[in-house]
Amino acid sequence: MKLQDKVAIVTGAASGMGKEIAKLYAKEGAKVVAADLNLEGVETVVKEITENNGVAKAVQVNIAEQDDIDNMIDTAINEHGTLDILVNNAGIMDGFEPVGDVLDERWDLIFDVNTKGVMRSMRKAIPIFLDKESGVIINTASTGGFNGAHAGAAYGASKHAVIGMTKNTGYMYAQKGIRCNAIAPGGVATNIASSMESVSQYGMERTKPVHSVMPRAGEPDEIAKVALFLASDDSSFVNGTVVTADGGWTAAF
């Protein structure tokens, strides 16, 4: 098994890509701390893992709160004595608002979850990884992290920032045994749209031409397989970069 006895945290693990990553990691031998704001949902995922002889624990986490992040990582340490893999997958969408329509409240929430939550989780994990001279960080970015027509201004900016942090972190700690990479999924069949409120019709119309050339939507388990590669020794020389998983969508641009 590719992750035998590794300890992994997966955020946003109650559904979609996070759920499939948690399940696949456990199948590959990892001890998984599955974190999500939706406690009932993540407990269901953990139940499925344990019924299949995997090891997992559910933790309720609001990724926008430092105390919750600290508790999440402390739980991994308290349960298993260490942390090997951190998957920052939790994220929310904006309402496709162009910058002229963005409210401060929406901007702050998007960045608190999508960007600051990622930074805070990495910041908490880095001393653990430095102490053991090994560790893997995988951030869920987005094709919207390097293109401008996949969502609104806030979401796009938040994911551009995640890519910037990923590259910086991969370089800064490259000689310390730590790898940090990101996955940029294209359109994937998840429930992230449920986080959208007050959708901008103008913004949606402007992005329609780009979405119309998407070859197909991906499945969450397809992204999980990329996350497994990046977490395993198969990607030992892959660091500070972004793996695009979009079925060829952005190859057109």
DSSP state letter for 151: S
The kind and range of the H/E element at 130 are: helix 117-132
Question: Can you give the CATH number for the domain in which 141 is found?
Answer: 3.40.50.720
Domains contained in the chain, number: 1
Across the chain, mean pLDDT equals 95
Q: Is residue 2 domain-resident?
A: no
Q: Is residue 212 domain-resident?
A: yes
Give tens-digit pLDDT for 58-113. Answer: 999 999 999 999 999 999 999 999 999 999 999 999 999 999 999 999 999 999 99
Give tens-digit pLDDT for 17-50. Answer: 999 999 999 999 999 999 999 999 999 999 999 9
Give tens-digit pLDDT for 158-176. Answer: 999 999 999 999 999 999 9
Give tens-digit pLDDT for 190-228. Answer: 766 666 777 899 998 999 899 889 999 999 999 999 999
Give the model's pLDDT for residue 192: 65
Is 25 catalytic? The answer is no
Structural domain boundaries, residue 73: 7-252
Q: Say if residues 64 and 113 touch (Cβ distance below 8 Å).
A: yes
Q: Is residue 1 domain-resident?
A: no
**What is the pTM (predicted TM-score) of this model?**
0.95
Give the model's pLDDT for residue 252: 86
Find the catalytic residue in 25, 155, 173, 202: 155
Structure tokens at 41: 């949902």
The residue count of the chain comes to: 253
DSSP state letter for 243: E
Give tens-digit pLDDT for 176-186. Answer: 999 999 999 99
Say how far apart CA 103 and CA 107 lie, in whole Å.
Answer: 6
DSSP state letter for 188: B
| CA distances to 46, 110, 192 from 246, in Å | 28, 22, 16
Q: Is residue 230 domain-resident?
A: yes
